[in-house]
Amino acid sequence: MTGYLIRRFFQMILVVLIATMAIYAILNLAPGGPLSGLNQTADRKQRFTQADIERLKAYLGLDKPLVLRYTVWLLGDDWLGATHMSLALKPPEGQRFYAEPSIAYARGGQPLWIVGEPTDRVNKDGLKIWRVSKVHISGRGAMPKEYTLSGAVIKVENRAIRMDVDRQDTDIVLEATPETVWEVEGLAPRPEGAWLPVGWFFGPAGLLGDYAHFHGTNHGVARMDWGKSWAIARGQPIVDLFKSRLGNTLLLLVTATVISLVVAIPIGVISAVKQYSALDYIVTTFTFIGTSLPSFWFGLMMVLIFSIKFKEWGIPYMPAGGIVSLRTAPPGSLIAAWKIVPGSMADKLIHMIMPTFVLSMLSMAGWSRFMRSQMLEVLRQDYVRTARAKGLAERVVIVKHAMRNALIPLVTIVVLAIPGFFSGAIITESIFSWQGMGRLYFNALSADDWPVVMVFLYVQSILVVLATLLGDILYTIVDPRIRYD
């Protein structure tokens, strides 16, 4: 088993790695590429010129070789610039994506490039405090042997140093004085070993080009630095974006999963126990219909009937979408009728009813069908007959002996629903404007927010692989007849 687990673990890493490669390559190499959506505005004036697009490409690093871009996306580029400090570190001309770039000179005439924005705060000497996103001090020759942070002052001991502080969470304050003594708060010195000899992997500097000035602060998706959104929440870290949505998705999906399990298991058991009865016939038909019912239509019809038609007919109607009502509940709605405080948990629950119902219907159909077939299988087993022969009550036989064993395979199927807790339900969330992960993904796709899309797919594929592995492991635990070694 241990050997199997280790093997599976490495396979898993490989699969995820290939998945990232595939996702990255496909999204970047597709005709039109990730910027294909840019020029679709009908208004000629608002269109980007070719020069604009080139600049944008350079800014986003899209003009670099794909292998390099992929590596940077996955592993970051904070370790990349180390061997290429000799390259000029000045912002590309006409750059318009940085907030107020200012160029100063460090001691010794080395060009120093600071990217950041002034804050409203002023220090004790009356100098404006800057919130800095990047500091580059470039020079020629070898890498810095060492550098120190003495107190809060950076001293550049050698000719070349590059520091990346492009982290929104670190509030770094730089004070520009003519002596260029930079006060830095909250910045940890980079240990020397952190520099990786990139040149070994990527060959001469030629391949990297002037890559060194690009970003250089990104730790890479695999190191949990998921970057920032381009479009739907410009500049906002994707992690924050996910955090703000994940709660809603979990609430919806976990509730729906629990409800469908609670309903599907008894339905499956009963229809198996009473096989070929009228009830069984109804259940089988229901599951068949449930599995072919398109969720988007089902959801729309619910909105149509319970929100729109109910409103027309003057019956307290359901909210058509959203998570909570806005300030006041509309008159005539269920929320107003029941005098529910907008924004309260009860309000949320009312909003959850329809999307949860749609989602539960979908998984319920499949799971009860599965449960039924498992139960039929188990009921045929000898140990069930033995239990009956012992004189146990039929109830006990079914619940304690048969159902328990029929539940086992269901566990391994239900595990596969876990990745959905992250990705949400794209269609259902869209119909009910539920601000969850699925809707976030949908919005990101609509707005060509490729960083968000790629991170979403990356996390999702990891979760799918993990869930599959978990399912396989659970299988061996719950069914000792299956052995993988």
Min dist. Cβ of residue 308 to other proteins (A)? 5
Q: Cα–Cα distances in Å, from 188 out to 147, 321, 349?
A: 12, 46, 46
If the CB atoms of residues 114 and 365 are measured against other proteins, the closer one turns out to be 365
If the CB atoms of residues 112 and 303 are measured against other proteins, the closer one turns out to be 303
If the CB atoms of residues 26 and 262 are measured against other proteins, the closer one turns out to be 26
Min dist. Cβ of residue 415 to other proteins (A)? 14
Burial class (CB in 10 A: 0-12, 13-18, 19+), 293: middle
Contact 371, 267 (CB under 8 A): yes
Min dist. Cβ of residue 79 to other proteins (A)? 29
Min dist. Cβ of residue 285 to other proteins (A)? 8
* 219: nearest Cα among 464, 457, 455, 462: 455
If the CB atoms of residues 34 and 216 are measured against other proteins, the closer one turns out to be 34
If the CB atoms of residues 253 and 426 are measured against other proteins, the closer one turns out to be 426
If the CB atoms of residues 110 and 430 are measured against other proteins, the closer one turns out to be 430
If the CB atoms of residues 32 and 247 are measured against other proteins, the closer one turns out to be 32
Q: Cα–Cα distances in Å, from 235 out to 78, 101, 168, 174?
A: 19, 17, 10, 21
Contact 253, 421 (CB under 8 A): yes
* 186: nearest Cα among 167, 169, 165, 172: 172
Min dist. Cβ of residue 341 to other proteins (A)? 27
Between CA 348 and CA 330 the distance in angstroms is 15
Q: Count the neighbouring beta carbons within 10 Å of the beta carbon of residue 420.
A: 22
Give me the phi and psi of 183, to 5 degrees please.
-85, 125
Q: DSSP secondary-structure letter at 183? A: B
Give me the phi and psi of 384, to 5 degrees please.
-70, -40
Min dist. Cβ of residue 461 to other proteins (A)? 6
Residues of this chain that interact with other proteins (CB under 8 A) are 15, 18-19, 22-23, 26-27, 30-32, 34, 36-37, 40, 285, 288-289, 291-298, 300-301, 303-304, 308-309, 320, 419, 423, 426-427, 430-431, 441-442, 445-446, 448, 453, 456-457, 460-461, 464-465, 468
Min dist. Cβ of residue 330 to other proteins (A)? 15
